[in-house]
Chains A and B, each alone.
Chain A
Amino acid sequence: MAAAHDKIKELKERYAKLPVAHKGAVYNTDLIFHIELGYMLDAAETICASGLVRKESRGAHYRRDIPQRNDEEWLRHTTAVLEDGAARIGTLPVTITEWQPEARVY
């Protein structure tokens, strides 16, 4: 995950210098894909950075180094704020209403 995080950082640097070949103003998919790629890199970085911070396994977020769920420390939402071109990760408490958290076993 750390390696992926570095790779995304590198890709973001390359992306900053990426030109848009087609300059048209009508149905310019070259431009659309360019914009989308930027957002995809932001999303990828958010996933990676929050995954690194969350030191447990929960649902689809699974870490081989920490396979256990940890409600005491991590029954929290992850937040990500874009700051100086990078994702700053924080957390927020979870408000539990009708559904009580429980281990998902199959």
Chain B
Amino acid sequence: MQVTLNVKRYDPEAADPTACFEEFRIEAESHFTVLDGLIKVREEVDPSLAVRCSCRASICGSCAMRVNGHAALACKTKLSTSLHDGAVSVEPMGNQRVVKDLVTDASLFWGKIRAVEPFLQPKGPEPEEEYIASNDAMLNLITPMGCIMCGACVSDCTVLEVDKNFLGPAALAKAYRFVGDPRDEADADRLSTLNEYGGAWDCTRCYECVQVCPKGVAPMDRIMELREAIQRAGLPSTIGSRHVDSFARSVARSGWLDETLLAVESWGKFNVPKLMASAPVGIRALVRGKLPKGGPLHHKRPGAKNVERIFRRLEHAPSTLAAVASKSGSAHD
């Protein structure tokens, strides 16, 4: 079949190094992946096309790029199902510096991975043989361990788009992999770092990383589990954790969200500068009759009792990381 690849080209050495799309028409087999198409272009049409790839079997993580606007492994994406009117658009990953054409600089990615100290930190005397972990304890870590460091999640992270200080989905999933490891005993330090600016609370839960991850790591779900672990560890509250708590309290109490109280409690009741700063918004909303009745004026929804019952149930539901909370006591048994 005849297909068109719209490839975003960028050559830093060109007289005019502005990135722009170039159209390549090739004859593709029905089994072709997007990567097969790009390799065909490189081999038969334009040898200057820069593509990074190695295994062609979605395990090396080299060929992550944006296909039709979303990050994917080019070798795991079928060309035939990616076509719109016979064409597919291929761009380099986002949030990272483009080196040339579809090749991006991985230093931002690795910097963030390094920042979470991605290695086992056990305490106490070294065992004579290896550190033992039970199968059950490791089952929970299979998903984050499936990460192949392709950078797809980092590419499409909407928080990184606006704040490069965010650790990002891949590094946070990696952090979870060690927080959840029964042999690792650096949890207190790890969680307290993750509780800071740029850590687990900065995710906006947009789900993009879960959608684009080619290995089912579901980084955002791991970030949510880290938040749980942070709260269970009793670390100082943050805007993020207060938001979660206030949200849950409000729904449990009244069956729906008290938005006014949510804002106040998230900033912190005594955070005068922040409250002052958001006062004009509140006043404008009040004048236009759009300020939800908060605090004592927030009324209970009919059926709030049922919601409360759900919350009581959940309090006793087992948590994935529940084992972690007690691991320091059981690791050496």
Contact = CB atoms under 8 A, between A and B. Distances in A.
B13 A29 contact: no
Contacts of B47: 21-22, 29-30
A26 B48 contact: no
Given A21-B47, A22-B47, A24-B13, A29 B99 contact: no
A106 interface: no
Which of B50, B99, B103 has the largest count of A CB atoms less than 10 A from its CB? Answer: B50
Interface string A26-62: 1111100000000000000000000000000000000
A59 B48 CA distance: 42
A92 interface: no
Contacts of A30: 47-48
A29 B12 contact: no
B42 A26 contact: no
Q: How large is the interface on B (under 10, 10 to 19, 20 to 34, 35 or more residues)?
A: 10 to 19
B99 A27 contact: yes
A27 B13 contact: no
B11 interface: yes
A24 B9 CA distance: 14
Interface of B is mostly: loop
Contacts of A24: 11, 13, 48, 100
A82 interface: no
Interface in B83-138: 99-101, 103
Interface of A is mostly: loop
A29 B51 contact: yes
Contacts of B103: 27
Nearest to A33: B47
A103 interface: no
B11 A26 contact: yes
Q: How large is the interface on A (under 10, 10 to 19, 20 to 34, 35 or more residues)?
A: under 10
Interface string A1-38: 00000000000000000000110111111100000000
Given A27-B99, A27-B103, A22 B12 contact: no
A21 B45 CA distance: 11
Interface string B7-19: 0000111000000
A14 B316 CA distance: 74
Interface string B40-81: 001000011011100000000000000000000000000000
A24 B12 CA distance: 10
Nearest to B48: A22
A29 B103 CA distance: 11
Interface of B: 11-13, 42, 47-48, 50-52, 99-101, 103
29 contacts: A21-B47, A21-B48, A22-B47, A22-B48, A24-B11, A24-B13, A24-B48, A24-B100, A25-B13, A26-B11, A26-B12, A26-B13, A26-B50, A26-B99, A26-B100, A27-B50, A27-B52, A27-B99, A27-B100, A27-B101, A27-B103, A28-B48, A28-B50, A29-B42, A29-B47, A29-B50, A29-B51, A30-B47, A30-B48
Given A21-B47, A27-B99, 5 more contacts: A26-B13, A26-B99, A28-B48, A28-B50, A30-B47
